[in-house]
Amino acid sequence: MSLQRGQASVELLAGIPALVAAALIALQVVAAAYTVHLADGAAEAGALAVAAGREAEPAARAALPGWARERVRVSAAGGRVAVAARPPALLPGIASRLEVASSAWALPADE
């Protein structure tokens, strides 16, 4: 009797790591998608700055929230601004492989 009734609890206990892992995977996917969105915005801000004759990198970084500013690489050449961003690392070892990239182009001031 007691053995049967404890089975559900044991299964639930064993399932907690699986649930935690699933939640982490889901959050990592969402974090990566959000990082794509941020990289897009940063690239656009950088390109708009280029069109206005200003520096791309400060403008691109300024378009990001504080936590993301140190997680991006910004490069600009010929009106094209490229932003590579690492999403927050919820699953160590995987996040670094989820680096996302975005770029935008606008007519530069010197062309």
Partner 1 sequence: MSDPVPLLAVTALPGAGGGLAIAAALAIAAARRGGAPEGVILCELGGARRPTLLASAAAREIEAGLTGELPVAARGALCWVGLDPGSWRDGLDRCSVSGASLVVPFLDPSRWRELVAEVDSSPRGAVLRADVPRRRALAGLVAAEARRDGMPFGVVTKAPGIVPTRRAMAGLEPGGATGARASRLVTRLLRREQGQALPLVVGLAAMLVLAGLAIAMLGAAASGGARLQRAADLAAVSAGRSMRDDHPRLFAPARLAAGRPNPVHLDPAAYRTRARRVALRAVRANAITAPSIRVSFPGGGDVPTRVRVALRGEIEVGGAGSGEAARAVAVAEAGVPAAPAADARPSVARGGGYSGPLAYRQGEPMRPDVATAFDRLAAAAARHGHALVVNSGFRSDAEQAALFAANPDPRWVAPPGTSLHRCGTELDLGPSSSYGWLAAKARRFGFLRRYAWEPWHYGYVAGPSPCSAAGDRASRSGDGRLAGGGLPSFVPSRYRAPIALAASRWNVPAALLAAQLMAESGFNPFAVSAAGAQGIAQFMPATAAAYGLRDPFDPRRAIGAQARLMADLLRRFGQIPLALAAYNAGPAAVEGCGCVPPYAETQAYVARILGLLGGAGRLAPPELEVRLVR
Nearer to partner 1, 99 or 105 (CB): 105
Distances (CA, A) of 45 to 5, 13, 14: 60, 48, 48
- Measured from the CB of residue 2, what is the shortest distance to partner 1 in angstroms? 6
Q: How far apart are CA 98 and CA 39, in angstroms?
A: 13
The least CB distance from residue 1 to partner 1, in Å, is 6
Give me the residues that bind partner 1 (CB under 8 A), please.
1-2, 4-5, 7-12, 14-15, 18-19, 21-23, 25-30, 32-34, 36-37, 40, 44, 47-48, 51-52, 79-80, 104-107, 109
**Helix (H) / strand (E) containing 82:** strand 80-85
Nearest approach, Cβ of residue 74 and partner 1 (Å): 16
Under 8 Å between Cβ of 52 and 109? yes
